[in-house]
Amino acid sequence: MTNSTCQASRRCAIFQKTMAAHGIDRCVIVTGSFRAGTSFVCSLLAANGMPGISDERFGKLTTIFRNPDEDFQNQLDQIFMSATDGLFVTKIMWPHRNALAQHMGFDRAESVKLAAMFPRARWINIVRRDKVGQAISFWKAKATNQWQQVKSDQPAPDPDYDFDRIRACYVELSAHDMLWQDFHALAGTEVHHILYEDFVEQVATDLPPLLSWLDDHRLPSGPIKTTSALKKQRNAHSEAMRERFLEDLYRTGF
């Protein structure tokens, strides 16, 4: 047995033991790329029996130093203590999935093993059609560190236009979407796909069947809530950036 195989075996045992210690028997996991509308969808899920699902819990995994297995278990303990009545909910972005896979010792071919670590998991994958708008939103969030805005918040000052960084965001987000599609296909996950632009326009008709599909993977929450406290951050400056970016693409060829 190789060292990597031994590590994977130990980490799997630690993962399962820690989940069991917190009584976790079912999961809801939201995946997608940054600025794809995951926060909007998660805000509605949180209001309908999945509190805390907006938290990117595996983004808290840190590099393990002195006592690798012990440190890994302690970090998992902090992550899984959020579970309520056996239900664990989280949002996972691609870099967080990658970090978890590396901690577990899983490569691409073992995607099915990684997915299987989450018992009775329902996966929701969100994609945004407008990739240019998403890239601009991602760049603005990184430049201002304002990732969400509720309706009472003041918007952050708009950042300066930066063609190279917006283009890099476009490439990164497109890659993350492709990788999530690949992961779900390889892992054979039970996944519900959401196209953000369609969902946001027809929440009242699309949310109830999604909640019905989730079934017992949510806590009692009363009547269905179809409104979110989050505010769209796209503004006239975003549109101006979009036009300038497209003009620059025509000039550079990409």
Rounded Cα distance between 26 and 216, Å, is: 9
Rounded Cα distance between 194 and 32, Å, is: 10
In three-state form (DSSP H/G/I as H, E/B as E, the rest C), the secondary structure along the chain is CCHHHHHHHHHHHHHHHHHHHCCCCEEEEEEECCCCCHHHHHHHHHHCCCCCCCCCHHHHCCCCCCCHHHHHHHHHHHHHCCCECCEEEEEEEHHHHHHHHHHHCCCHHHHHHHHHCCCCEEEEEEECCCHHHHHHHHHHHHHHCCCCCECCCCCCCCCCCCHHHHHHHHHHHHHHHHHHHHHHHHHCCCEEEEEHHHHHHCHHHHHHHHHHHHCCCCCCCCCCCCCCCECCCCCHHHHHHHHHHHHHHHHHCC
In terms of residues, how long is the chain? 254
* Tens-digit pLDDT profile for residues 161-202: 999 999 999 999 999 999 999 999 999 999 999 999 999 999
Q: What is the pTM of this model?
A: 0.93
Q: What is the homologous superfamily of the domain 3-252 according to CATH?
A: P-loop containing nucleotide triphosphate hydrolases (3.40.50.300)
- Can you give the pLDDT at residue 3? 63
Q: Provide the sign of the torsion angle of the four alpha carbons 114, 115, 121, 126, taken in this order.
A: positive
* Measured torsion, CA atoms of residues 172, 111, 89, 129, in degrees rounded to the nearest 10: 40
Ranges under pLDDT 70 in the chain:
1-4, 64-65, 149, 151-153
Rounded Cα distance between 175 and 169, Å, is: 10
* Tens-digit pLDDT profile for residues 29-48: 999 999 999 999 999 999 99
Domain limits, the chain: 3-252
> Which residues does residue 29 pair with via DSSP β-bridges, in sequence order?
90, 123
- Can you give the pLDDT at residue 40? 95
- Can you give the pLDDT at residue 252? 94
Determine the angle formed by the axes of helices 163-187 and 94-104, rounding to 10 degrees. 50
Q: Which residue has the tokens 């930066």?
A: 162
Contact at 8 Å (CB) between 90 and 57? yes
CA distances from 249 to 46, 52, 95, 152 (A): 39, 39, 27, 36
The alpha carbon of 18 is separated from its chain's Cα centroid by a whole number of angstroms, namely 22
CA distances from 244 to 4, 40, 139 (A): 48, 27, 14
